[in-house]
Amino acid sequence: MRRTSKVRENLYIQFIEQENMDSVVPRLSQLLNRDPYLHPYTHEIERRYKIFEENLRKIDETEGGIDQFSRGYETFGLTKQDDGLTYREWAPGAKAVHLIGDFNNWDRSSHACSVNEFGVWELKIPNKPDGSSPIEHKSRVKVAITKHDGNQVDRISPWITYAAPQSNTDLYEGVHWDPPQPYHWQNPRPSRPKSLRIYESHVGIASNKLEVASYDHFSQNVIPRVKDLGYNCVELMAIMEHAYYASFGYQVTNFFAVSSHASKNTMDGLNQFDGTNGCYFHDNPRGFHDLWDSRLFDYTQWEVLRFLLSNLRWYLEEYKFDGFRFDGVTSMIYHDHGLGHGFGGDYPSFFGLGVDTESITYLQLANHMMHTIHPDVVSIAEDVSGMPALCRPINEGGIGFDYRLGMAIPDKWIELLKKCKDEDWDFQELYHTMTNRRYMENTIAYAESHDQALVGDKTIAFWLMDKEMYDFMSVTSYLTPIIDRGLALHKMISDSDDDDDDDDGDDGDDGDDGDDGDDGDDDDGDDGDDDDDDDDSDSDDDDGDDDDDGDDDDDDDDDDSDSDSDDDDDDGDGDGDGDDDDDDDDSDSDDDDGDDDDDGDDDDDDDDDDSDSDSDDDDDDGD
């Protein structure tokens, strides 16, 4: 059909408008076409993208690119050269810095560092006369920080890759890791599955014995079972060293040491590292998360960005993680951390003054770095607010995550099992909950995680069968109506989350350890964050690496990386799609991040990083 001049004029106007929209954000028009409600917020989306681009430009100009910038572990901490060791640390608030340890009989004045204009302290230690390293493998080391009031405090280097407790005390010390025969990976990095089937686990509690289980035990006894059940991705909790073992990985202390939130500990964590309340964290109320009793990173600091991005990169390269689950992203991206805030899909709240642009910029940089260096990396965001474009590419104006967690789904299952008779289930409401998600943003649907099974609740198997599991699960016992019903409903619930394989990229995750009915206990580990065991398959040390076969979320951290690397969702009530979910207990990471991811690992998290780890998700934050 021949176009009229009016039609041609309208098409030309549309073309010009689209060209103008894409002049700042390369593919913004695609995002706006998918979600027309975003049109009024075009300028804010462009502003966020410009800040991301400006940070990327500065990294290119001053650091040689994101690849080099995210390798901070090669220049900070203790690094090895042919002629000796170099110690480098960022401590802008310190008056003096000395390296102490076994190597100098803990002499607090013999090895002084010099400082540059950026607050980076440096010390070169030559080899011994026989050419051997001046600090032996497994030597204990710490940093003596002299504050401006003249007092000295001992700290562990944030870049230390192994930390261990002192004898007869709970205080940790850094351990210099320099094995004479470094471990070399035996297998290539696995390819990314088309559709994820995630099994969340905690290595340390993945045993039915009263002990902290090892990576060897996990690889020999848990991984085969996970594979046989059809999972293709393992999400590990508590990978990064953390202060309280029973926290399942929260409150990370040593982000590069395999064992976010960032712990408030001063003796073995980042808090007050240089003797001030600032350094890695905001030196004001913004630097404290009152509900979680943790510290929050200052993403405006150049060295904080280097530290968190390098934390994610460290787990990608050193331990071959495949991705991160960033815990508590909601807490990162809003100034009020989502506390007391019911998110109802109100678009102005997504683009108003309550949004923390600096955190969003860090998450964009983290996703850009990970997907640039390793395109198959998986990044997962735990967000209950429903932030638009969270899981859309950065060049569309998104934040760049691959998946978001469908957090309303497990809460709906628990609600049904707690409050409703089987015959009273509202399947229309259940269908709405399972399909309510942002268009074209990949969602991970799951039946339960550590948030349901460990954090003040119990597994679906226990809700269904409770104490009957102890006496009537054996093949030699008779089948009771409770067990019969429980197994049937458990299969139905698990399968309902595992069948999402449609075009919008939904993936199923029903793999909370210990809910398959054999003993009702989460003795295979539980969800989310990775725990650190010295027996790891990757090095014969207790620096614990995990060679997971799947993906890493941390995610965390996790990493949020949270860091990282650790995820913890205190209420898990959100679905991330704009329903009225009261998020006042939102889970945040730190970090990749992690971490506090705020993490990655920590995913991190963020340290995964902040930040948990998926198949190796290190939630993260940072995370």
Q: How confident is the model at residue 89 (pLDDT cuts 50, 70, 90)?
A: very high
Task: Convert the pLDDT of each residue in 149-162 to its tens digit.
Answer: 999 999 999 999 99
| Range 116-138 average pLDDT | 96
469 vs 262 pLDDT, higher one: 469
Last residue within a domain, chosen from 446, 466, 496: 496
Instruction: Kindly tell me the sign of the dihedral angle through the C-alpha atoms of 326, 328, 332, 334.
Output: positive
Query: Which among 142, 143, 137, 96 is positioned nearest to 115, based on CA atoms?
Result: 96
**Mean per-residue pLDDT, 317-338:** 91
According to DSSP, the β-strands at 84-90 and 120-126 are antiparallel
Encode pLDDT of 31-57 as tens digits. 999 999 999 999 999 999 999 999 999
Q: Please indicate, yes or no, if residue 442 is contained in any of the structural domains.
A: yes
Q: Measured between alpha carbons, how far is 375 from 316 in angstroms, rounded to an integer?
A: 12
- Cite the active site residues: 327, 382
Q: Rounded mean pLDDT of 119-136?
A: 96
According to DSSP, the β-strands at 507-512 and 443-446 are parallel
Q: Cα–Cα distance between 243 and 622 in angstroms, integer?
A: 17
pLDDT score at 336: 87
Cβ neighbourhood burial of 339 (10 Å; 0-12, 13-18, 19+): middle
* Distance from C-alpha of 505 to C-alpha of 540, rounded to nearest angstrom: 38
Phi, psi of 496 (to 5 degrees): -65, -30
Distance CA 609, CA 393 (A): 19
Least confident of 107-121, 145-159, 186-200, 539-553: 539-553
Give CA torsion, residues 235, 270, 303, 368, to 10 deg: 10
Closest CA to 202 of 570, 612, 620, 621: 612
Query: What sign for the dihedral angle of Cα 5, 8, 14, 16?
Result: negative
Number of domains forming the structure of the chain: 2
**Whole-angstrom Cα distance, residue 371 to residue 468?**
47
- For residue 15, the model assigns a pLDDT of 61
Res. 1: pLDDT tops 80: no
- The pLDDT score that the predictor gives to residue 282 is 73
How many helices (H) and strands (E) the chain has is answered by 16, 26
Residue 529 clears pLDDT 50, i.e. is over it: no
Q: What is the Cα–Cα distance from 356 to 271, expressed in whole angstroms?
A: 22
pLDDT of res. 577? 43
Residue 540 has pLDDT above 70, yes or no: no
472 domain-assigned: yes
% pLDDT > 70, the chain = 71
pLDDT(270) > 50 = yes
Residue 82 lies in a domain: yes
Structural domain including 102 reads 76-176
426 pLDDT tier (thresholds 50, 70, 90)? very high
The answer to whether the beta carbons of residues 601 and 255 sit under 8 Å apart is yes
- Give the model confidence (pLDDT) of 458-503 as tens digits: 899 999 999 999 899 888 888 899 999 999 999 999 887 654 444 4
pLDDT at 525: 34
CATH code of residue 110: 2.60.40.10
For the chain, the 3-state helix, strand and coil shares in percent, each to the nearest 5, are: 30, 20, 50
From first CA to last CA, the distance across the chain in angstroms is 56
Is the pLDDT confidence value at 516 over 50? no
The pLDDT of residue 172? 83
171 or 367, which is more confident: 367
How far is Cα of residue 334 from the mean position of the Cα atoms in its chain? 17
For residues 598 and 98, the model is more confident at: 98
pLDDT confidence of 535, banded at 50, 70, 90? very low
More confident residue, 143 or 537: 143
CA distances 221 to 252, 483, 525, Å, are 27, 26, 12
pTM of the model: 0.76
pLDDT of residue 296: 84
For residue 603, whether the previous peptide bond is cis, meaning omega lies within 30 degrees of 0, is yes
Q: Which residue has the higher pLDDT, 571 or 275?
A: 275
Does the pLDDT of residue 356 top 80, yes or no? Answer: yes
Task: Name the residue among 232, 251, 346 with its Cα closest to residue 289.
Answer: 251
133 domain residue, yes or no: yes
Mean pLDDT value of segment 155-184:
88
Burial class (CB in 10 A: 0-12, 13-18, 19+), 165: exposed
Q: Judge whether 45 lies within some domain.
A: no
Contact 607, 562 (CB under 8 A): yes
**Mean pLDDT in residue range 274-288:** 73
Q: Going by DSSP bridges, is the β-strand pair 620-621/403-405 parallel, antiparallel, or unpaired? A: unpaired
Q: What is the mean pLDDT of residues 6-18?
A: 64
Model pLDDT for residues 577-586, shown as the tens digit of each residue: 434 444 443 3
Instruction: Give the pLDDT band (50/70/90) at residue 181.
Output: very high
Q: Is the pLDDT of residue 590 over 90?
A: no
Supply the mean pLDDT for the chain.
79
Measure the CA angle with vertex 488, ends 484 and 493; round to 5°.
Answer: 145
Q: What is the pLDDT of residue 173?
A: 87
- The backbone torsions φ and ψ at residue 87, rounded to the nearest 5 degrees and listed phi first, read -110, 130
Q: How far apart are CA 601 and CA 259, in angstroms?
A: 12
Q: What is the structure's pLDDT at 8?
A: 66
Cα–Cα distance, 179 to 162 (Å, whole number): 12
Provide the pLDDT for residue 454. 75
Q: With 60 as the cut, is the pLDDT of residue 223 above it?
A: yes
Domain boundary among 176, 205, 226: 176
Which class for 166: exposed (0-12), middle (13-18), buried (19 or more C-beta within 10 A)? exposed
Can you tell me the mean pLDDT for 452-462? 82
Give the residue from 462, 479, 496 where a domain finishes.
496
Q: What is the pLDDT of residue 141?
A: 96
Assess if residue 444 is contained within a domain.
yes
Q: CA–CA separation, 232 vs 549, rounded Å?
A: 7
